[in-house]
Chains A and B, each alone.
Chain A
Amino acid sequence: MAFNIYDFSTLTQSIDQGLNKVMSPGLATFTEFVIVGVAFLAFYALAGLFLVYAERKVCALIQIRRGPNRVGPFGIMQTLADGIKLFLKELIPINKADQFLFRIAPYIVTICAFMTLAAIPFSKGLHAIDFNIGVFYLIAISSLSVIGVLLAGWASNSKYPLIGAMRSGAQIVSYELSVGFSMLTIVVFSGTMQISGIVESQADGWWIFKGHIPAIISFIIYLIAATAEINRGPFDLAEAESELTAGFHTEYSGIRFAFFYLAEYVNMFIVSAIAATLFLGGWMPFHIGHWAAFNHIMDFIPPLIWFFGKTGFLIFVIMWFKWTFPRLRIDQLLTLEWKYLLPINLVNIVVVAFLVLMGWHF
């Protein structure tokens, strides 16, 4: 098996050939599905655990505390311990709740996160599905998770979750527009919707540097809108613990709550990964135009490190937002989207189209 840290396509191809040798093509494809599924399941759990730990440490750093430091070295086992605790906890049955919807809601949120994860290129050749309409797929799937949130709030038969869910519905539907438009900016720049194509188009420089000011504007708008879309502070109105105790998942306990919690963190990873892929070149190393020597040195750093480095930085920025800013009010939130972000975005995309038509971008 040829393993190359710089290009995973050789590895995946050799696995594919090996499987086809020992079994029928149909069974080989099925086995590949299982392998990819298990890999994502493992990644999902690990990313969730790590991000919860990272959030606690980052928040402790901002709040002049130490964060978890008792369970395991530097407290790294703390999230695992919490996970086990949640797993063993009683699932409190809710009186007069719509049992079917109540149970299905956490899974919808989780499935959405899984499906989005599939379209993200982790490294060269490490990509579950490479659609020719990848960006479109991302926009479509990421907005589905609002259904889970709405169901959770509605089925709980409780007043606080209902308010939280309705807020969340209004919020995600609004901010979906801004997310979509800022992703379209990059589609216009690179001329393709295929995510691998977008990454390849950044071989001579990332879009945030190549795309003049419009790319920077759409990057900032994307960060704001994505933070709102995943219901994180300062836009965490759906949870708003000082107003609605825990928002839409107030009535959830044990492992069902853990599913929501994990999905929140994986969603944070996903939006950061998308931002890194579209604006910061994904796994593409930092290249400057025709500086061959410099580009060559940068190529020595494996793409996986580039990808996770960029994503990690953006995750830190999103956490930083949450722990410094007060929360917005619902009307201010919608005003921000409909009166500021959306018009700016619309003008921005026209400017981008003009830039591309005139061939003024690098």
Chain B
Amino acid sequence: MAAEETVKNVIVPNESDYIINIGPQHPSTHGVMRFETSLQGETVTHIRPHCGYIHRGMEKMCEKDTYPQIVHLTDRMDYLSAHMYNEAFCLCVEKALQVEVPERVKYIRTIIDELTRIQSHALWWCANGMDLGATSCFFYGLRERDLVLDIFEETCHARFLQSYNTPGGVMFDLHPNFQKRVKDFLIHLRKKLPEYDKLLTNNIIFRQRTEGIGVLSKEDAIAYGVTGPSGRGSGFSCDVRKIAPYSAYPYVKFEEKLATEGDSFARYRMRMDEMWESAKIIDQLIDNIPDGDYQVKMKPVIKLPEGEYFQRVETAKGELDVFIVSTGEKTPYRVHFRTPCFSNLFIINKLVSGLKIADLIAVSGSLDLIIPDIDR
């Protein structure tokens, strides 16, 4: 009975509530996402997130495609962490085939991972500022992001969805300019990140809008599986780069930033700190890229041996898990992605209930949700 009551309360809103749909077309949902929001005045009493507006049946599509083809599908989930998604799938296939990729590939992948992380966080910073009404942030963040995309364009021959990884390595060798450009970029980034702090982090209005707002406890973070910077803002140590290092992460020293407050500002700080950490990681790798092949010779048709394979990767948003079931065919029997944004989304009702509409926007911005990643 009690359980039925609870379910009823969740589904049937209170009669006196003023219900507005934030989304599916709304500037602050960052995509086609609908928050059915019950309001009492300005206060949010309940949120029911409705996803599925951009569902493309990604996992089903994978069952029809060969393994090299699937790589190009994966980056359509979280387009801002495109390289990491490609890498996760390739790592899983390599694990299944027991292929050891050359050291050079590991280094290249890790450097581009971290560059991807920086550009993803830079874009998040713009969008978060925009959600809070600081429109100018958008242009400053995009300035740094564009420099990263220029580097990608030169090396990966694509700016946004690079599809740079293939099972067994990467598509092209590094461009001769790569090292120089990355180093120049890091110098630039270290000059510009303090500017971000001047514009937004130390702004009193911004502090008031984020500090103590949308507090996520560590228990809830673990229970809901909130990973990535959002989880680490609550003190949940969940960095896959530390727990299960892959590619060149075992060779580098970096800190897993943790905060205990769990509010919007803690999540904000985590991402800002991660940009500094990413710069540190690239610093350690960029001068030591070993010589060698950038690609292992693979069979023309990749067939995974029968079995179940699993790979974890830390994307810019959180933990991405890839699970492949193979029956020995050239297409997988089943592929499942555990995407970070899906888990990070459903905590929002808990965070925002009792706060104002403006806080809903601020908190959903601080969770860094990518809608195609939720729907797949």
Contacts and interface: CB of A to CB of B under 8 A. Distances in A.
Nearest to B210: A326
B140 A329 contact: no
A331 to B, nearest CB: 7
The prevalent SS among residues of B at the interface is helix
B136 A241 contact: no
Interface string B250-292: 0000000000000000000000000000000000000000000
Interface residues of A, number: 29
B135 interface: yes
B196 interface: no
Interface string B11-37: 000000010100000111000000000
Contacts of A327: 132-134, 205, 209, 358
**Counting chain A CB atoms within 10 Å of each CB, which of B132, B133, B140, B357 scores highest?**
B133
Given A325-B134, A326-B134, A163 B140 contact: no
**Counting chain A CB atoms within 10 Å of each CB, which of B135, B139, B356 scores highest?**
B135
User: Which 7 residue pairs are nearest across A and B when measured between Cβ atoms?
Assistant: A327-B133, A326-B132, A326-B134, A63-B139, A329-B358, A242-B28, A159-B20
A339 to B, nearest CB: 13
Given A65-B139, A163-B42, A242-B361, A324 B134 contact: yes
Interface in A233-249: 233-234, 236-237, 240-245
A245 B22 CA distance: 10
Contacts of B356: 329-331
A236 B20 contact: no
B206 interface: yes
Nearest to B22: A243
B28 A330 contact: no
Given A64-B143, A163-B357, A325 B205 contact: yes
A247 to B, nearest CB: 12
A243 B361 contact: yes
B298 interface: no
Given A64-B139, A329-B358, A324 B199 contact: yes
B239 interface: no
A234 B205 contact: yes
A24 interface: no
Contacts of B206: 326
B28 A325 contact: no
Contacts of A63: 135-136, 138-140
Given A327-B205, A330-B358, 16 more contacts: A159-B20, A233-B135, A234-B133, A234-B205, A242-B130, A242-B361, A243-B357, A243-B358, A323-B135, A324-B134, A324-B136, A324-B199, A326-B132, A326-B206, A328-B209, A329-B359
A160 B136 contact: no
B136 A242 contact: no
Contact of B27 (A65, A237, A242, A328): A242
A329 B134 contact: no
B361 to A, nearest CB: 5
B205 A323 contact: no
B131 interface: yes
A62 interface: yes
Contact of A326 (B139, B140, B209): B209
Interface string A240-264: 1111110000000000000000000
> Chain B interface residue count: which class?
20 to 34
Contacts of B42: 163, 167, 330-331
Nearest to B41: A166
Contacts of B131: 242
B203 interface: yes
B132 A242 contact: yes
10 contacts: A160-B20, A163-B42, A243-B28, A323-B135, A324-B136, A325-B205, A327-B209, A330-B42, A330-B358, A332-B205
A28 B133 CA distance: 52
Contacts of A323: 135-136
Nearest to A236: B133
B214 interface: no
Contacts of B28: 242-243
B208 interface: yes
Nearest to A322: B135
A319 to B, nearest CB: 11
Contacts of A59: 135-136
B269 to A, nearest CB: 16
B129 to A, nearest CB: 7
